[in-house]
Amino acid sequence: EAGVTQFPSHSVIEKGQTVTLRCDPISGHDNLYWYRRVMGKEIKFLLHFVKESKQDESGMPNNRFLAERTGGTYSTLKVQPAELEDSGVYFCASSQVGLAGYTDTQYFGPGTRLTVL
Amino acid sequence: KNEVEQSPQNLTAQEGEFITINCSYSVGISALHWLQQHPGGGIVSLFMLSSGKKKHGRLIATINIQEKHSSLHITASHPRDSAVYICAVMRGTSYGKLTFGQGTILTVHP
């Protein structure tokens, strides 16, 4: 079974440009999470999809970030326009809705390293 | 102060040593994860705990809900255990959203 995949693995863009990150969760996983690690800091939550619906987007830094999950399958995270402070590693994770509700193991993708110059 | 604190931040050990990494949290949780990230690698979930103790090979994770504390132990450490170990908690009402500690960088020398 394929794991969580993310594309691209690295992206280097200039300030003001647009970048779109993609996450393909494990097939059948309704929960999809986006997280970000800024250098030197802990990983932080960005948002959570259940199928195609945004369950929680409380961690999105500002309206330059737009996440979508069309059809409840893959998700995209667009940053427009990118700023220097957006640099970091963006992780995606997916999980099934377990018997205990949402408390099921999350499987992480390899991350996308974004560098904004 | 972060809601999830790990100690130590850096840990160096000799092969064969017993290792303990600690995690304290300040919020009510439904579960706690221990995650591992090797240099250049992805994040792997080692354990998800809501009570008691779990063991997998040389790794043991314990949690004390009353004291809001968890430990990850590695017995007979090996250089391949060198990685960043991350504690993350799932709050009771968070629908799976994780709050992370800053990670512990473990280096095991042969």
Identify the band that residue A99 occupies on the pLDDT scale cut at 50, 70 and 90.
Answer: low
Provide the mean pLDDT of chain B: 94
Q: Is B64 on the interface with A (CB under 8 A)?
A: no
Chain B residue with Cα closest to A111: B42
How much is the average pLDDT of B68-74? 97
- What pLDDT score was predicted for residue A40? 84
- What pLDDT score was predicted for residue A13? 96
Yes or no, beta carbons of A104 and B96 under 8 Å apart? yes
Q: How far apart are the C-alpha atoms of B36 and B83, rounded to whole Å?
A: 7
Q: How distant is the Cα of B34 from the closest Cα of chain A, in angstroms?
A: 11
Q: Is the pLDDT of residue A33 over 90?
A: yes
How much is the average pLDDT of B32-61? 93
The more confident residue out of A102 and A34 is A34
How much is the average pLDDT of A51-56? 92
